[in-house]
Structure 1
Amino acid sequence: MMSPIAIAVLSLSMSADAFAAAISRGAKHHPDFDQAIRQGLVFGVIEALTPLIGFGVGIMFAGLVEAVDHWIAFGLLGLVGGKMLYEGLTHDDADTEGRPEGPKGSRGLFTLIATAVGTSIDAGAVGVGLAFLSANIWIIAAAIGATTFALATLGMLIGKIVGTKLGRAAEIVGGIALILLGTKILLEHLGFLQSLGF
């Protein structure tokens, strides 16, 4: 059972990629408030769906790997967090800021959805890990979706002011948080935290 604090950390970490991407979109497209809300909603809905899909896949195999479920959760969270940390540290702002905007309309919508799906793939992997922990995926998915909606909307609104640097910082912090969360889950299941009085 995940605590509210753990769910909050997970939600913020899962939202970091979308936040970074939204800042980039805001810097390039300068959306007004209504546009930011609509685009943030796309990010939030897709980010909420992917852990549900991952959880469904994971639950089918949970019984086969029950003895090592905490290691799987630790590994998945560690890999996702490490990837986010690496990308946040090595991403070149010029790669994002120098791209052409592209046409509006249906192609713009496709780009938005593709970006939202791309930033939510990690949440699918985390959903697989959560299946092994018997977590309440509905609460977690709703929290991830709502947090992503809020941060993606905010990211687009401030992107035109601050550029992409804040997005990189969010990826770094989110990556570290996921690695720490995975480590906490592992230590809890191995009994180390209980022995230390936590």
Structure 2
Amino acid sequence: MNPVSILLLGFAMSTDAFAAAIGKGAAMTRPRLIQALRAGAIFGVIEAITPVVGWLLGKGASRYIEVWDHWIAFGLLLALGLHMIWNGLKPEPDEPVDEAKRHGFAALAITGLSTSIDALAVGVGLAFVDTPIVVVAVVIGLCTFAMVTLGIMLGRVLGEVVGKRAEMIGGFILIGVGAVILYEHLAG
């Protein structure tokens, strides 16, 4: 693979994470740049690890992963999206919401993992071609870091414009990303 192809692959792998980050940023209460950078780092690291894991798995068991990757991604994103929609429909609580729990490491990591299943599948495919997997993984991770950071900050603007219902919009975005992943794999 040439450098341009690797860079394009990196941005292609980060698009679903970008969409999810917009939803997350909209659901957060006025996220600051440091929170966006943190989310970008979490997503980026996960997105960089998954193609390497896929590459390793592809050396022995590619047919099993490729059969289920789109269903796993769809199921995780559907569940997360429905949860966000549910939270957007609930009335405002009397006590303050624990932002650290709702948008903490575990919540971001689960969202990051659910949007990186396609990178796992790409890693499986790369196991059969002569590709510097470490370079590809680093580029995917850096592209995802940049796109998620930008997505969180764009989501902040969306959250300010739409208010509390922004979390519902974020949920619909996650479900849409999952549906697109499923459609692309079934049609493809």
Shift of 1:109: 2.3
Match of 1:68 in 2: none
Q: Deviations over 1:82-131 (max 9, x none)?
A: xx9x9xxxx9xx96873427733356321111101111111001100001
**Counterparts in 2 of 1:99 and 1:13: CA distance versus 1, 3 Å:** farther
Contact 1:50 1:121 in 2 (8 A): yes
Q: Deviations over 1:27-57 (max 9, x none)?
A: 1103101111111100000000000000011
Q: Where in structure 1 are there 5+ consecutive unaligned residues?
A: 63-71, 184-198
Matched residue pairs, number?
Answer: 154
Q: Secondary structure at the match of 1:31?
A: coil
Q: Where in structure 2 are there 5+ consecutive unaligned residues?
A: 89-96, 159-165
Match of 2:13 in 1: 14
Amino acid at match of 1:23: I
Determine the C-alpha separation between the residues in 2 that align with 1:23 and 1:133: 34
Match of 1:104 in 2: 99
Determine the C-alpha separation between the residues in 2 that align with 1:96 and 1:155: 20
Question: How do residues 30-41 of structure 1 correspond to structure 2 at under 5 angstroms?
Answer: 30-41=30-41
**Counterparts in 2 of 1:123 and 1:3: CA distance versus 1, 3 Å:** same
Amino acid at match of 1:34: I
Match of 1:23 in 2: 22
Match of 1:148 in 2: 144
Question: How do residues 89-128 of structure 1 correspond to structure 2 at under 5 angstroms?
Answer: 98-100=85-87, 103-106=98-101, 108-128=104-124
Amino acid at match of 1:7: I
Determine the C-alpha separation between the residues in 2 that align with 1:116 and 1:40: 9
TM-score of the aligned structures, taking structure 2 as reference length: 0.66
Q: Secondary structure at the match of 2:99?
A: coil
**Counterparts in 2 of 1:145 and 1:112: CA distance versus 1, 3 Å:** same
**Counterparts in 2 of 1:25 and 1:137: CA distance versus 1, 3 Å:** same
Determine the C-alpha separation between the residues in 1 that align with 2:99 and 2:26: 16
